[in-house]
Structure 1
Amino acid sequence: MPTYSLRSTFATLPRTTRGRPIVIGVDPKGKNFLYTNGSSVIIREVANPSKCDIYTEHSVNVSVAQYSPSGFYIASGDNHGKIRIWDTVNPEHILAHEYQPLGGCIKDIAWSPDSKRIVVVGEGREKFGHVFLMESGSSVGEIMGHSKSINSCDYRSSRPFRIVTAGEDQNSTFLEGPPFKFSKMIRDHTNFVNCVRFSHNGEKFVTGGAEGKVFVYEGKSADKLGELGAPAHKGGVYALTFSPDDTQILTVSGEKMAKLWDANSYALITEFHFGKTTEDMQVGCAWIGEYILTISLSGYINYLDKNNPDRPTRILKGHNKPIMALTLGSDGKTLYTGCSGGHINYWDADSGLDDEIVGKGHSTQIQDLTVSGDNLISISMDDSIRFTSITSKQYGTSAIKLESQPRAVASHGNLTAVACINHVILLDGECVVLTQPLGFEGTAIAFSCDGGMLAVGGNDSKIHLYEVNNFTLTEMKTLDENGAIRDISYSPDGQYMTSCNAERRANLYSLPNYSHVHNSTHHTARVNSVSWSPDSTHFATGGVDGNIIVHNPKQWMSPLVIKGAHKMSQVNRVLWLNDNVVVSVGQDSNLKQWTIEH
């Protein structure tokens, strides 16, 4: 019986929203940092970010997660106001407690230094914040004073304990306790207050606002001590943090800059400049030991270098939107992925190092990808096909507009075929040589191994088989299925063709007659993708149920099921890297590799 193991996970980036700060959680031991995307909490090692863990137990989108000072727990809050407290010790991340402190999105979480009390803030109906005991959920005070949702909060790490909050009503409140009660309203900002943070020793706290100002206050009394810059930034300040020794303050802004300040004299030490596009706005930051991290609106995670402020030491790239397309380069080790945001990335399958195809590319969702020689061929919902040089990793100067929206692409030699909503289109090189109307909506496409047949799947629950001859297509046969066709794959040895459809089935056909051999109903929902191993002994399918199933045509009734391969997410594409490794991408924006032991 075959078995499987998770070989690697190339993690999603943080999901960002323009005008909203991103909170990065930091492990008190200084080893890990965490952030959220969709219903997942992503935990990554700061020194080796390819090592990651993903928590997927929330049923809705998670908005923030923070480590307890003990390091034994993580509290994560979601868009419905629910908070889950789970352990960091066990691989299963056993749930310790679950509470519903707010009626709306939780925007920030802070722990007491003894890890016994938690403050959460965000959106709500009756209240915008709550302080409670971790073990029982019992209230230990009220957060009063705000008239609109609260964006940020922090808990003083030393006695006497204090809580400070920052809200969309342009105010910050200062609370004394426990039990915590309102002490002081701070009205220095003239726009949303996006972030508030205490120094590690509790002697100061700072607030950052959407008008670009940053104020410094005394930690016990909330007396104003000064201001950074005049103002600190020309754009809104989205996040700030103290250095581990509390001597410096890092601020990040929508003006596409991060700045380092002296925490005692308030003098500017260093400016970090990023790019000039909207995607280069800085919306989050963390300082973990020697590592200084910022998050761009693109989701990129920047490792800053104080000695070279214009060039980060490294940038973690990837996707933060659902990955819709996947293909393998002709070198057999470079993976190409395309997402719903229109970006295409390339990955080293061994190390996980990746970068983005540069230049002016597609403007919206990537539908499918294939590789032919040195060309990466991409189709998009912008109704275009692009040919990109794998060597240059740069988009070509022009896109070829198609007659109708493309859904799937396949290539054989110099010939490229595109299944569109109303047409099937053939290209010789980058030249369109045939645009043939269809009486159905094209949804999937594949060339036979010798290129003599083209299989086109449709929403009419049929596979249409065309003979390819001198840039003409002649329909030879149709295969009836019971659901809209989602994907088609030929085995490399030319013995089989496999399809998958919306009615949770995978069908196996024997060539050359295309006689039906088997159909599989092991998925519990629509099957999105099918792929054959290079040695033609197995094929893999991925579906809406989040599962991957590896089939052996000779042992049809006992496939290998990778249950929850992409938990709380559908598997959008599967692909064999080699005879023993399956690659999968999903709605969760993660890329995973699975070792299959036959």
Structure 2
Amino acid sequence: MSYASKSIYAALPRTQRGQPLVLGGDPKGKNFLYTNGNSVIIRNIENPSIADVYTEHSCQVNVAKYSPSGFYIASGDQSGKIRIWDTVNKEHILKNEFHPIGGPIKDIAWSPDNQRMVVVGEGRERFGHVFMSETGTSVGEISGQSKPINSCDFRPSRPFRLITGSEDNTVAVFEGPPFKFKMTKQEHTRFVQAVRYSPSGNLFASAGFDGKVYLYDGASSDLVGEVGAPAHSGGVYGVAWSPDGKQLLTASGDKTAKLWDVETRQVVSQFVLGSTVDDQQVSCLWQGNYLLTVSLRGFINYLDVNDPNKPLRIVKGHNKPITALTLSEDRTTMYTASHDGNVTNWNAETGENDRVEGTGHGNQINGMRVCEGTLYTCGIDDSLKQIDLEGNTYKPEHLKLASQPRGMDILKEENIVVVGSVNEITVSKDNQKLSALKVDYEPSSVSCSPRGHVAVGGNMDNKVHIYELKDNKLEPLTELSHLGPVIDVAYSPNDKYLVASDGHRKVVLYSTEDYKLANNKEWGFHNARVNCVAWSPDSELVASGSLDTSIIIWHVEKPTKHIVIKNAHAQNQVTRLAWVDNTTLVSVGQDCNTKLWTITPF
């Protein structure tokens, strides 16, 4: 067997209220960049479903920027480390690693000749540093500001200048090389969130939490004037220049983005991008013909200059860890749910997606299943809800559960939903509770077989509990003992096998005839708890995903053969798996990404 990565449906940017997000643009105009957790995500700007993920940082990455040549990317993380890596090779070979400041890096800027770099942030002994990108040698000092620095930029033409925007409400100007502090500009009355030079370097703009945007002369740093008065009614998080330097795009916490004429400093058009707190705009990017903004919920808006009322496209998805995954009955649509309770549907082939509307759980979803045009979800608000798939919205009615649900499955013939909660197993249909079985163990997962058998994983007692559904009630059949907590259970589509995974690193295959070990096989190649198992539609392959970040594919007929997909979700655990068809596996993980793999059997 062998495997290949088929596609990555990437995570959205990880946003934080009150924090500007930095988008990076490719000088060649093809891609744009942002960060989520330990990952740097590179997306094709024309077709954002084409993505690549760089995962070599060991802690949270805050910012990534292309070099002006386009051959390298520099990314800076929470610990103050900068990694410079190449964009040409698929492996993204590391060129250099430096540790310029001792704290979170918030912004990076390259000099136009690719040779120098400035990084700023929240260091313990200094808030920024300028150095040579080849050697790390210092070429100046970032001083003169008394609080963390949020933004920086390099003048793209000679004489070189540096500008930084700080939480002490000032913009600092540096001349060099070597770069020395020249002056501070004190027009802003609140934190300065973004500073950017125009493409020619003749002007620079600063934006702050006071809702104001100022323009300065690029060479002398004299104030040219204020854009709008003020530009926005909320804090301004980002500014981006048009390629010709004649217009400016601003993104604000007042939930709008605005386009300005630089010469008159008047508004050209206003984009109203929603009305809730989640619609605050925390970043913007102008790349070629594309104008992008990012909202607090992580959605990426492609603005339409000809029609400010509606974005051309909104890229949706998840920016929190994904906790649940299931497929439509024809397996063409994938449904994912995240830690924050959001549900997204994806076209398995193209990656086109949309978020489910309506009032959902509002917090973590632990189980999802599709049956007859309805998606059932159970969340830790102790409820079982339904989503109307055609309308892509939650139905108003729901079933209250006695305790927190851990897993669920559906007996499709009769449309009966079985939910395993902390201290009971509920059997329901059409939002009506048919029966409830109190249990003295904590269910972790549920799987229903077509003939009415129900397997429930035991988290505390290390057992798989097998029940039979008779007259809508669960009657105990047998128990299967494991050496660790049973985490996931799944019946094969042909109902010949049951597979169970546990906290003792094992994947165990049982025959459903007598619930004895099938093929005398316990598979034990994982190095940590096995979180999830999934069957291929032909019942020949089992995929298991683990806390050890790997996925292993097992073959039922050839139990000694398997393949390992290491670091399937970078340095993050795999949370759920499903098979789109007999050769396509989909996995989701703590890294918020949805990945498709091509599996070639023997």
TM-score with structure 1 setting the length: 0.99
Q: Distance in 1 between matches of 2:457 and 2:191?
A: 54
Q: Is the 8 A contact 1:504 1:524 kept in 2?
A: yes
Does 1:591 pair with 2:594? yes
Contact 1:415 1:428 in 2 (8 A): yes
Tell me the equivalent position of 1:365.
Answer: 364
The answer to whether the aligner puts 1:333 opposite 2:337 as a matched pair is no
1:502 and 1:284 mapped to 2: Cα distance?
42
Query: Is 1:554–2:520 an aligned residue pair?
Result: no
1:334-356 CA distance string (max 9 Å, x none): 10000001100100000100001
Worse overlay, 76-85 or 42-51: 42-51
Matching residue of 2:488: 487
In 2, the alpha carbon distance for the partners of 1:212 and 1:321 equals 29
Give SS of 1:330's match: coil
Per the alignment, residue 473 of structure 1 pairs with: 474
Q: Please give the alpha-carbon distance, in whole angstroms, between the structure 2 residues aligned to 1:12 and 1:18.
A: 18
TM superposition shift of 1:456 = 4.1
Q: Is the 8 A contact 2:398 2:431 kept in 1?
A: no
Structure 1 residue 224 displacement after superposition: 0.2
Match of 2:155 in 1: 156
1:3-402 matches, within 5 Å, as 3-402=2-401
Rounded to whole Å, the distance in 2 between the matches of 1:452 and 1:307 is 59
Does the CA contact (< 8 Å) of 2:118 and 2:129 recur in 1? yes
**Structure 1 partner of 2:567:** 564
Q: Give the match's secondary structure for 2:408.
A: strand
User: 1:398 is paired with a residue of what secondary structure?
Assistant: strand
User: For each residue in 1:191-227, what CA deviation from the matched residue of structure 2 results, as whole angstroms up to 9, or x when unmatched?
Assistant: 1000000001000000000010000000011100000
Corresponding residue for residue 529 of structure 1:
532
1:164 Cα deviation from its structure 2 partner: 0.3
Partner of 1:459: 460
Partner of 2:434: 433
Contact 2:108 2:118 in 1 (8 A): yes
Question: What is the SS of the residue equivalent to 1:141?
Answer: strand
Could you tell me whether the CA contact under 8 Å between 2:278 and 2:295 is conserved in 1? yes
Residue correspondences, number = 597
Q: Helix, strand or coil: the match of 1:595?
A: strand
- C-alpha deviation, 1:458, in angstroms: 3.1
Q: Please identify, of 252-261 and 459-468, the stretch whose mean Cα deviation from structure 2 is larger.
A: 459-468
Partner SS state of residue 275, structure 2: coil
Per the TM alignment, residue 556 of structure 1 is displaced from its structure 2 partner at its CA by 1.5
Q: Are the aligned partners of 1:372 and 1:412 in contact in 2 as well (CA < 8 Å)?
A: no
Matched, 1:544 2:556: no
- Equivalent pair of 2:443/2:456 in contact (CA under 8 Å): no
Deviations 1:412-445 (A, max 9, x none): 1311001111111110222111122110111111
Instruction: Decide whether the 8 Å contact of 2:411 with 2:452 is kept in 1.
Output: yes
C-alpha distance after superposition, 1:463-516 (max 9, x if no partner): 111111011111121100011111111111111100111121100001211001
Superposed displacement of residue 454, structure 1: 4.0
Say if 1:303 and 1:313, in contact at 8 Å, map to a contact too: yes
Work out the CA distance in 2 between the residues paired with 1:182 and 1:238: 25
Write the distance in 2 (CA, Å) between the matches of 1:94 and 1:456. 43
Give the residue type in structure 2 aligned to 1:44.
Answer: R
Answer with 450-459 or 422-431: which moved more: 450-459
Q: Distance in 1 between matches of 2:106 and 2:136?
A: 19
What SS does the corresponding residue of 1:279 show, helix, strand or coil? helix
* Sequence identity percentage: 49
- C-alpha separation between the residues in 2 aligned to 1:134 and 1:313? 38
| Contact persistence 1:145–1:173 (CA under 8 A) | yes
SS of residue paired to 1:140:
strand
Distance, in Å, in 1 between the alignment partners of 2:435 and 2:246 is 67
CA distance in 2, matches of 1:138, 1:462: 60
For 2:296 and 2:541, locate their aligned partners in 1 and report how far apart those are by CA, in whole Å.
41
Q: State the shift of 1:372 in Å.
A: 1.3
Q: Give the match's secondary structure for 2:200.
A: coil
The RMSD of aligned alpha carbons is 0.9
Which consecutive unaligned segments of at least 5 residues does structure 2 have?
Answer: none
Shift of 1:382: 1.2
1:17 & 1:149 partners in 2: Cα distance?
Answer: 17
Shift of 1:161: 0.3
- Deviation, 1:303, is 0.4
CA displacement 1:321-368 (0-9 Å, x = unmatched): 001100001122010000001100100000100001101111101111
Counterpart CA distance in 2 for 1:465 and 1:63 is 47
Contact 2:303-2:311 within 8 A present in 1 as well: yes
Paired amino acid for 2:300: I
8 Å Cα contact 2:77/2:105 also seen in 1: yes
The answer on whether the counterparts of 1:165 and 1:196 sit within 8 Å (CA) in structure 2 is yes
| Structure 1 SS opposite 2:140 | coil
| One-letter amino acid matched to 1:449 | P
Q: Work out the CA distance in 2 between the residues paired with 1:567 and 1:237.
A: 34
The residue that corresponds to 1:582 in the other structure is 585
- CA shift at 1:375, angstroms? 1.2
Deviation per residue, 1:108-137 (Å, 9 max, x gap): 000000000000000011100000001111
How far did residue 577 of structure 1 move? 0.6
Q: Deviations over 1:268-299 (max 9, x none)?
A: 10000111111111000101100000001110
- With over 3 angstroms needed to count, the CA separation of the structure-2 counterparts of 1:379 and 1:483, relative to structure 1, is same
CA distance in 2, matches of 1:27, 1:41: 14
Measured in 2, the distance between the counterparts of 1:454 and 1:505 equals: 17
Give the CA deviation at 1:4.
1.1
In the alignment, the residues of structure 2 paired with residue 13 and residue 447 of structure 1 have an alpha-carbon distance, to the nearest angstrom, of 34
Q: Distance in 1 between matches of 2:164 and 2:449?
A: 63
Counterpart in the other structure of 2:420: 419
Give, in whole Å, the separation in 2 of the partners of 1:447 and 1:466. 10
TM superposition shift of 1:548: 1.0
Name the CA distance, whole Å, in 1 between partners of 2:138 and 2:455: 66
Query: Could you give the per-residue CA deviations for residues 134-177 of structure 1, whole angstroms, max 9, x where no partner exists?
Result: 11111000011111100000000100000000011111100000
Shift of 1:449: 2.5
Separation (CA, whole Å) in 2 of partners of 1:263 and 1:453: 67
Please tell me the residue identity of whatever aligns with 1:561.
V
Per mean C-alpha deviation after superposition, the further-off stretch among 151-160 and 449-458 is: 449-458
Is the 1:449–1:490 contact (alpha carbons within 8 Å) kept by the matching residues of 2?
no
Q: Report if aligned partners of 1:445, 1:457 keep a CA contact under 8 Å in 2.
A: no
**CA distance in structure 1 between the partners assigned to 2:173 and 2:151 by the alignment:** 12
Distance in 2 (CA, whole Å) between partners of 1:528 and 1:593 is 18
